[in-house]
Structure 1
Amino acid sequence: MPHFTWCDKGLSEDCHSLAAMAARFEEAAALMRRLDQDGFCLERQRGQQHITHTDSTVFAAFGFLDEAGPGRQLELVAS
């Protein structure tokens, strides 16, 4: 199933004011709500939060890169 790992470390790290932090959190919340409405799910796997969708076409329409795909697997191969 297509997925990417959600990690919120540093979400507001580059913000220079409380207003900027609030805007960043609001943007992230709006995205999470849209993903939920479009059928994405949050799954916990090996201590990580993976955002998944059963339809790879919908997943790709958002511009996400599938971490389970062959490109990602090739990155893990030591040369």
Structure 2
Amino acid sequence: MSYFTWKETGLTKDCTSLESMAARFEESARLMRKMAQEGFKLKQESRGQLITHNDPKIFQSWGFISEEAPFRQLALIEDN
């Protein structure tokens, strides 16, 4: 039997068929396109790919938590 090893371990780790893998990729692609329409950007850095947004309110409204250093996060808090 011919085969090759699939090395992606995050997105499809729990999939049990090629069909379920395809569905997961399609679902992820829809999400990435929606994020792009909402103004999210991909930034390449030495530590990897970062998904960014210039508006912290929109970033937070998607349920994301900023990985910025604490002093940068605090600078984003509005004064009331």
TM bucket (normalised to shorter chain) is 0.7 to 0.9
For 1:1-79, list aligned pairs within 5 A. Answer: 9-70=9-70
Q: Which has the higher contact order (CA 8 A, sep 6+)?
A: 1
Query: 1:28 corresponds to which letter in structure 2?
Result: S
CA distance in 2, matches of 1:45, 1:13: 25
Secondary structure of the residue that 1:44 maps to in structure 2?
strand
Query: 1:60 corresponds to which letter in structure 2?
Result: Q
The root-mean-square deviation of aligned C-alpha atoms, in Å, is 1.4
Query: 2:30 corresponds to which letter in structure 1?
Result: A
Identity score, percent: 49
Return structure 1 stretches of 4+ with deviation > 3 angstroms.
none
Gap regions ≥5 residues in structure 2: 1-7, 71-80
CA distance in 2, matches of 1:65, 1:14: 25
Secondary structure of the residue that 1:20 maps to in structure 2?
helix
Who wins on radius of gyration, i.e. which is larger? 2
CA distance in 1, matches of 2:69, 2:27: 27
Aligned residues: 63
TM-score, L = length of structure 2? 0.72
